Amino acid sequence: MKAWREVLACATCVGVPWVKADLGFFWSALFLMVVPVAVAGLIGGWLYSAYRRGRDGVAHGRATIPPLTSTRKESGQ
């Protein structure tokens, strides 16, 4: 019974002593906590850098800072 389960690396054997569920849960939970923060941070940082680029454009003679994103339809331009 045990050997068979071990070979298959049982998926639902949470309470079974030889499955190190604590290790899996800990690192998986940590990973899934970090990823959304990283994704949001990357997107936020990218938008901020876009804004910085627009601001630098003003320093180089542009009239105004263009809007970061458009609220209007863009297609057809």
Q: How far is the CB of 30 from another protein (least distance, A)?
A: 7
List of residues contacting another protein (CB under 8 A): 1-3, 6-33, 35-36, 39-40, 43, 46-47, 50-51, 53-55, 58, 62-70, 74
Three-state SS annotation for the chain:
CHHHHHHHCCCCCCCCCCCCHHHHHHHHHHHHHHHHHHHHHHHHHHHHHHHHHHHHHHHCCCCCCCCCCCCCCCCCC
15 or 60: CB nearest another protein: 15
Q: How far is the CB of 72 from another protein (least distance, A)?
A: 9
